[in-house]
Amino acid sequence: MKRFASMLALGLVVCAQSASGQTLKAVTDRGMLNCGANGTLAGFGLPDAQGKWTGLDVDVCRAVAAAIFNDANKVKFVPLSAKDRFTALQSGEVDVLVRNTTWTSSRDTSLGLNFTGVDYYDGQGFMVRKALKVNSALELGDASVCVQQGTTTELNLADFFHAHNMKLKTVTFATANEAVKAYDAGRCDAYTTDASGLYAERLRLANSNDHIVLPEIISKEPLGPAVRHGDDQWFDVVKWTLFALINAEDLGITKGNVDEMMKSPSPEIRRVLGLEGNSGESLGLTNDWVVRIVKAVGNYGEMFENDVGANSPLKIERGLNKLWSKGGLQYAPPIR
Amino acid sequence: MVDIAERAPRERGSLLTNPLARSIFIQATLLVLVIGAGWYFYENARANLAAQRIATGLGFWNNTAGFGISQTLIPYSETSTYGRAFVVGLLNTLLVAGLGIVFATALGFLVGVARLSKNWLIAKVAEVYVEVIRNLPLLFQILFWYLAVLSTLPSPRQSFSFFGLAFVNNRGLVVPEPIFNEGSGAVGIAFLAGLALAVIVRYWARARQMRTGQIYPAGRTALALIFGLPLLVYLVLGAPIRFDLPELKGLNFSTGLRIIPEFIALLLALSTYTAAFIAEIVRAGILAVNKGQTEAAYSLGLPPGLTLRLVVVPQALRVIIPPLTSQYLNLTKNSSLAVAIGYPDFFALFAGTTLNQTGQAIEIIALTMAVYLAISLITSGLMNFYNRRVALVER
């Protein structure tokens, strides 16, 4: 109902806060960043037993808050379903949407959003029961597949089956929770979502060892933060926060050694840390913004390992998300 | 009105004190304000949407939808349009609401009458049913039917079989699918003819009873006509309608008509829930009929069954119909809870998936409101029509 109210609000008073500079000012005045997050996906957005939000997407929001307030805790996380997330951003309920959202042309151009980059390169996969003795997604003809409503997954699934001339029974649920529960109850032969999500959801199944993830990746799913269209300054702040995280890893600046690095003679490191130039002030922040970010959440690599990689229960390989210099796709324009 | 208009200017002479002029002025001002406010909201939303580059209008209607739907009453594939998905969703909602209304009414009348039974056990069972069902949240009941019942059913390869004709598994109920060959139309026509004949027989039987006092078994004759006639035609034409038996192939049943568990769960929950309310309405309606009516019927020698059917229920209907209409509307609107268990109803498909894929919240929410409003207004229109007919019978 709250979401419905925000849709109505969108219809009646459509926020005029899209003009450049308005969002940063609104966030600063409020003293709090409103961040649209997942809420149920381990590794990306999930409150833990103590109510502390954890995950890669969530940490991106913390980084933005750290850059603005020098305090990573000044974030209010708003859990959103896949179906409602864009409306929440459009109507101004959240300032930034970081909810494992795939960057596509239609979302970028017709929903009034701008994607600021990619914090995780993903792809869609399938999970099935081992007992089914299926080894490839191409053997899923006539299968019932559980899927979450309002996702690119829903569309890729239809495309994939159509392209391979297979018949498909889609069973669509409003949330991932319900879709996984129905799959676990045996309603569907397969559950499909982004591969990272499959590993996370598998941990929650009654008997996770009875399920396997099929090898096929059927789509490109670049996941990233999105902001409202029209406020270029705010767009820059979120975009460069992500770039700062990647640049910090590139230069070897970590949560542990950032104070040490301040003494580095390297002009590149000095520029990134705000000792030279005025990268922060041009963004509307302070020049030590990268120092604040790295002190709060670490660099991109540290975030990755803590939230989804080796130090997390998910243990996902970095794969495509390695730095460009190590054979991956993560690459950020220089700060200068 | 004309009177005032002619007299007023003569008496007062001023436009300001003329009641007609004043009321026209007030009405006109109000109209302008309402239109102005509407225009302001429309223009404001349009301008802001344009400024944020959010697409507007119904241009998406003919675009490819690109998502799958688990239950479609008309042909639909991933390559169909959003417009077609709209119709698919609408039909799914109408199907579950229509069947739900039929089942809820039948069950509700039964339970309502049972609550008034002189048999202690029957009355208590009916009472417990009503009190338990209507005091639990509907969403809870839908999830109960879906998850609790679904998880106990076997996988397709281990389906429960009903003599090899129908199968139940956790993918739903698979029944033989009718295949209509040449000549099927004749069977349909025979069915309609049987229906028409049954109506004629009923009127004839009633007229004869009025005239001679003799009772003719119109009910049994009607049954024979409605079902016997099509069966006869079916046999004469050499069985034009064939049934495709369900057959397990690969992961699932590939032939046979499949009724998805989401539909069964939703239909069960909606009918049993609404039936509990209808039962109370029926009980209230029957109790509203003066006891003297029953006593009068008994003293004329009518047995209890006929008393109920001919004396009590027709009078009770006057009390029952208006609140019954609200229950029908509730059932239809409650069917939008389908989204919780993945039944592809109108709300889930249109205000859910389509809204999210196109991002055009305002147009889609407005259309959704219009559709539910239309369904409700049509339902209550029909019920009001019926109510007037029932009311006329009153003497």
CATH superfamily of this structure's domain A2-121+223-326: Periplasmic binding protein-like II (3.40.190.10)
| Secondary element (H or E) of residue B63 | none
A2-121+223-326 with A124-219: one CATH topology?
Answer: yes
What number of C-beta contacts closer than 8 Å exist between A and B?
Answer: 162
Which CATH code for domain A124-219? 3.40.190.10
Asked if A162's CB is within 8 angstroms of B45's CB, the reply is no
Domain count, chain B: 3
Q: Choose the closest CB to A14 out of B45, B341, B348.
A: B45
| Secondary element (H or E) of residue B259 | strand B257-259
- Looking at the DSSP bridge assignments, the partners of residue A226 are A97, A115
**Euclidean distance between CA atoms B90 and B77, whole angstroms:** 16
Residues B266 and B389 in one domain: yes
> Per the domain annotation, does B214 fall within a domain?
yes
> Per the domain annotation, does B28 fall within a domain?
yes
Chain A partners within 8 Å of B357 (Cβ): 150, 155
Q: Which domain holds residue B24?
A: 2-51
Could you read off the pLDDT of B280-320 as tens digits, one per residue? 999 999 999 988 999 999 999 999 888 988 888 888 988 89
On whether the CB atoms of residues A175 and A85 are closer than 8 A, the answer is: no
Could you read off the pLDDT of B72-81 as tens digits, one per residue? 888 888 888 9
**Euclidean distance between CA atoms B118 and B126, whole angstroms:** 12
For residue A147, the distance in angstroms to the closest alpha carbon of chain B comes to 9
Count of other CB atoms within 10 angstroms of residue B219? 12
For residue A179, the distance in angstroms to the closest alpha carbon of chain B comes to 8
Residues B318 and B362 in one domain: yes
On whether the CB atoms of residues A264 and A218 are closer than 8 A, the answer is: no
> Per the domain annotation, does B374 fall within a domain?
yes
- How does residue B219 score in pLDDT terms, banded at 50, 70 and 90? confident
> Per the domain annotation, does B39 fall within a domain?
yes
Amino acid at B325: T
Could you read off the pLDDT of B327-373 as tens digits, one per residue? 999 999 999 999 888 899 999 999 988 888 888 888 899 999 999 99
Could you read off the pLDDT of A153-165 as tens digits, one per residue? 888 998 898 889 8
Contacts of A205 (CB under 8 A, 6+ apart): A180, A184, A211
**Euclidean distance between CA atoms A239 and A284, whole angstroms:** 13
| Least-confidence region, from A73-82, A115-124, B173-182 | B173-182
Contacts of A323 (CB under 8 A, 6+ apart): A246, A249, A250, A301, A330, A331
A55: left (phi over 0), alpha (psi -120 to 50) or beta: left
Q: What is the dihedral of CA B244, B247, B253, B259, to 10 degrees?
A: 40
Q: Which of A135, A160, A171 is the best residue to mutate to test the B interface, defined by the most B CB atoms within 10 Å of its own CB?
A: A171
**CA-nearest residue of chain A to B348?**
A174
Could you read off the pLDDT of A180-202 as tens digits, one per residue? 988 988 888 999 999 988 988 88
Residues B188 and B265 in one domain: no
> Per the domain annotation, does B284 fall within a domain?
yes
- Comparing CA positions, the residue from A111, A157, A105, A163 lying closest to residue B67 is A157
Residues B300 and B220 in one domain: no
Tell me which residue has tokens 């099935």: A128
On whether the CB atoms of residues B156 and B253 are closer than 8 A, the answer is: yes
The full set of domain ranges for chain A reads 2-121+223-326, 124-219
Which ipTM was obtained for this model?
0.74
Q: What is the dihedral of CA A325, A327, A330, A331, to 10 degrees?
A: 40
Find the mean pLDDT for residues A291-315. Answer: 93
Could you read off the pLDDT of A84-130 as tens digits, one per residue? 899 899 889 999 999 999 999 988 988 889 999 999 999 999 999 99
On whether the CB atoms of residues B135 and B303 are closer than 8 A, the answer is: no
pLDDT at residue B325 above 60?
A: yes
Residues B161 and B187 in one domain: no
Residues B181 and B162 in one domain: no
Q: Which two tokens stand for residue A46?
A: 């999930």
**Euclidean distance between CA atoms B205 and B211, whole angstroms:** 10
On whether the CB atoms of residues A226 and A115 are closer than 8 A, the answer is: yes
> Per the domain annotation, does B253 fall within a domain?
no
CATH number of the domain at B144, please. Answer: 1.10.3720.10
Residues B37 and B184 in one domain: no
> Per the domain annotation, does B65 fall within a domain?
no
Residues B294 and B153 in one domain: yes
**CA-nearest residue of chain B to A171?**
B70
